[in-house]
Amino acid sequence: MLAAVFQGPGAIRVEEVEDPRCGELEAVIRVALCGVCGTDRSIFRGEYDVQAPIVLGHEYAGTVVEVGASVVGVEVGDRVAVDPNVVDDVCFYCRRGLSHLCQGLSPLGVARPGGFAELSAVPARYLHRIPATMPFSEACLIEPLACCIRGIDQAAISVDDLVVVSGAGPIGCLLVQLARMGGAATVVSVEPSRARQNFALTAGADVVCTPSEALNVVRELRGGVGADVVIEASGQLAAAAGSFGLVRRGGTVLLFGVYPTAGRIPLSPFQINEDELRIVGSLNNPSTHSRALDLIASRRVNIANVLSDRLSLADLPAAMDRDNFPTASKIAIDLGAEREA
């Protein structure tokens, strides 16, 4: 089969590799589409350590072509979306219902071969059947939406809140929609790109502004008081640091973006204590995959404009640099398993 194999920072090679073997509790799927995530780009830049060589890609969907001898609930021919976060079920965190913090976490596309390949072996328990009417172009967005749902859960938005979302890429735009669903009265999108500001407006943002304008915009909306919740989704360290100037006393800062593992920002313990700030992170998608699937299937979340570009596997190295696609929202790699009109 063809696969895009990450060789090390800055190097991905599309090549023929052996077809995956199907384990007793696994299913092999023929991949239809696999989204390009900020985590993939961080790995490519060498900001997020993985053991190379490895097939990246964790936002994917396809059709089951083989099942292991002990698999139940999944059959050949099923159309499925993948939850990539494989856990060990036995560590301290798994035994306490915190499996997303698993000490033995081995995600597909990060620690195990992932979705930038024609075929992928997946533990069957991590497959979610999708409706026959759901195209793969929507199913490959279930994983990123599931992560966003976790973020909104962590942000604990209340009715009538002023929420700032920093970054208006596909993740930022999904967070804008979910913040509105969560009860936010006003959603401000902070984004330097004019094209992406328009994406945010389409997603439902009330106000868009650049990072340099954000402080004045928030103060004007709140009479000098900051935002109730600031969600940093750009993955930029400067934006993460700037979040603490936008939040009100007693407010919440959610650091949602994918940041370099060695990245650091200055924090004032005095401000955190004096303003009684709540600072939270958001990892993966614990028990949110099914919720994301339902939101997409029911059309309660509008994803019509989230996926903007479908590229070939050969185009993946270029897609790892977002500057090559300055007007793109979400990019997905089309493996050709099912051509959709």
Confidence check: pLDDT of 340 > 60: no
Whether pTM > 0.75 for this model: the answer is: yes
- C-alpha dihedral, 320 to 43 to 106 to 36, nearest 10°: -20
d(CA 71, CA 51): 29
Helices 170-181 + 194-203 axis angle, to 10: 30
Peptide bond into 53 cis (omega under 30): yes
Place of tokens 């075929």: 119
- Residue 341: the pLDDT is 35
133-191: pLDDT as tens digits: 999 999 999 999 999 999 999 999 999 999 999 999 999 999 999 999 999 999 999 99
Residues 6+ apart with CB under 8 A from 194: none
Q: DSSP string of 66-113?
A: EE-TT--S--TT-EEEE------S-STTGGGT-GGG-TT---BTTTB-
Confidence check: pLDDT of 259 > 50: yes
CATH topology of domain 2-141+306-334: Quinone Oxidoreductase; Chain A, domain 1 (3.90.180)
Confidence check: pLDDT of 339 > 60: no
Give phi and psi for 167, each to the nearest 5.
Answer: 105, 125
CB 254 within 8 Å of CB 229: yes
**Dihedral class, residue 100 (left if φ above 0, else alpha if ψ from -120 to 50, else beta):** alpha
Confidence check: pLDDT of 337 > 70: no
Residues in the chain, overall count: 341
CB 305 within 8 Å of CB 327: no
> Domain locations in the chain?
2-141+306-334, 148-281
> So what's the architecture of 148-281 in CATH?
3-Layer(aba) Sandwich (3.40)
Beta strand pairing call for 79-82 and 127-129? antiparallel
Residue 53: which pLDDT band, with cuts at 50, 70 and 90? very high
Residues 6+ apart with CB under 8 A from 255: 232, 240, 243, 279, 280, 281, 282
Q: What long-range pairs does 190-193 form, CB within 8 A, spacing at least 24?
A: 190/164, 190/165, 190/166, 190/214, 190/239, 191/166, 191/167, 191/234, 193/168, 193/326
**Dihedral class, residue 289 (left if φ above 0, else alpha if ψ from -120 to 50, else beta):** alpha
Residue 305: which pLDDT band, with cuts at 50, 70 and 90? confident
d(CA 19, CA 10): 25
Give phi and psi for 311, each to the nearest 5.
Answer: -115, 165
Residue 327: which pLDDT band, with cuts at 50, 70 and 90? confident
Q: Two tokens at 235? A: 């993955």
Q: How far is CA 301 from the centre of its chain?
A: 15
Confidence check: pLDDT of 338 > 70: no
